[in-house]
Amino acid sequence: MYRRVLLKLSGEVLSGEGARGFDSERTAFLVEELRPVVEKGIQLAIVIGAGNITRGRELSEMRSSRADELGILGTIMNSLYLKESLCMNGFEAIAISSVAGIPSLLEHRYDTIEDALNTGKIVVFGGGTYLPFFTTDTAAAVRAVEIGADVLIKGTKVDGVYDKDPKTNEEARRIERTTFSEAIKSRFEIMDIEAFSICQRYGLPVRVIDFFSKGNLFDAIIGGKTGTVVLPD
C-alpha cells in the first residue's frame, strides 16, 4: 500500500467530459472518491489541470507563452475550487501556489507542505510548474518528487494503457505493467517526455487509472490491479 500519493487529475473531473466550468455532481463524485483514501491515513497531494476552463487548441492564435499563462491561472482557479469543496465536505485541505497573491492560497514552501501532509491535510497544487511551456503532467512529476511521493497516480478516462486504441480495435489489450523505456519506445500516450524523464530519473512509479469508475483510486492505492503501472527501468 502506498503511504504518500500524488494524484494528477484533469480539470474535467470538476465539470464532466467536454464540459466547462464546475458541476456539483462531478465534484461530489471526486470528493467521495478521496474520502476512503484519507480515512485510511494516506497522505494525499493533488495536481489539477485546467481543461474545464481553457484548452490550448482554442488559443492557438496566441503566443504559446501567453496561452500557457492563461492555463496556469485556470489551474489556480481549479485548485481553489477543489480546496473549498473539500473543506465544505469535512476534509482539511490547503491550496498551494506561488503565482497569485490571493489570501486563500498559501505560498509554495516545503515546510508548509510537509506539515500539512503529516497532519492529514490534502494539499492541492495550483499553477502547474509556474512556467509556460510545461504541462500539468510535468508539474505532477515535479511535485511528486518534491514531496517524496511513493507513486504518481494519473486519473484518466480509460482503465489503463493499451497496446492499441481500444476505441477502434476490439483486440486491444490492457497492459498491466510496463517500463518508462518501453512506454516511450511504444509511444504509449501516458504522459509527456519531460514528465517521464523526471519520474525515470528519480525512480518514481506512475499508475494510470480510470478515475471515473467508483473505487478505482482506493483500489490502486491499496495494491489492487486497477489500471497500468509504469516502472522505472
Q: What is the pLDDT of residues 126-174, one digit of tens each?
A: 999 999 999 999 999 999 999 999 999 999 988 888 887 777 887 888 9
pTM passes above 0.75: yes
Query: Is residue 159 marked as binding?
Result: no
Query: Is residue 232 marked as binding?
Result: no
**Mean pLDDT calculated for residue range 193-201:** 93
Pinpoint the alpha helices (H) of the chain: 24-39, 64-88, 110-118, 136-147, 180-185, 193-201, 216-221
Residues in a beta bridge with 153:
7, 207
Query: Is residue 203 marked as binding?
Result: no
Query: Is residue 155 marked as binding?
Result: no
Q: Between 30 and 101, whose confidence is greater?
A: 30
Query: Is residue 135 marked as binding?
Result: yes
**CA pair distance 111, 80, nearest whole angstrom:** 20
CA angle (93 as vertex; 90, 98 as ends), nearest 5: 160
Query: Is residue 8 marked as binding?
Result: yes
Query: Is residue 162 marked as binding?
Result: yes
Query: Is residue 68 marked as binding?
Result: yes
Query: Is residue 163 marked as binding?
Result: no
Chain-centre distance of CA 167, in angstroms? 23
Dihedral pair phi/psi, residue 47, rounded to 5° = -115, 125
- pLDDT at 99 exceeding the cut of 90: no
- State the cell numbers at 191: 504522459
Query: Is residue 11 marked as binding?
Result: yes
Confidence of residue 124 (pLDDT cuts 50, 70, 90): very high
pLDDT computed for residue 54 by the predictor: 83
Query: Is residue 192 marked as binding?
Result: no
Query: What Rg value do the Cα atoms of the chain yield, rounded?
Result: 17
Query: Is residue 156 marked as binding?
Result: yes
- pLDDT at 217 exceeding the cut of 90: yes
What are the extents of the domains in the chain?
Answer: 4-135+144-151
**CA pair distance 233, 176, nearest whole angstrom:** 16
Query: Is residue 41 marked as binding?
Result: no
Query: Is residue 132 marked as binding?
Result: yes
- State the cell numbers at 53: 476552463
- Of all residues in the chain, what percent carry a pLDDT higher than 70? 98
**Mean pLDDT calculated for residue range 206-213:** 95
pLDDT computed for residue 5 by the predictor: 99
Confidence of residue 57 (pLDDT cuts 50, 70, 90): low
Write the CATH number of the domain with boundaries 4-135+144-151: 3.40.1160.10
- State the cell numbers at 31: 470528493
**CA pair distance 103, 137, nearest whole angstrom:** 26
pLDDT computed for residue 61 by the predictor: 83
pLDDT computed for residue 13 by the predictor: 92
**Mean pLDDT calculated for residue range 58-69:** 86
| Averaged pLDDT of the chain | 92
- pLDDT at 188 exceeding the cut of 70: yes
pLDDT computed for residue 56 by the predictor: 65
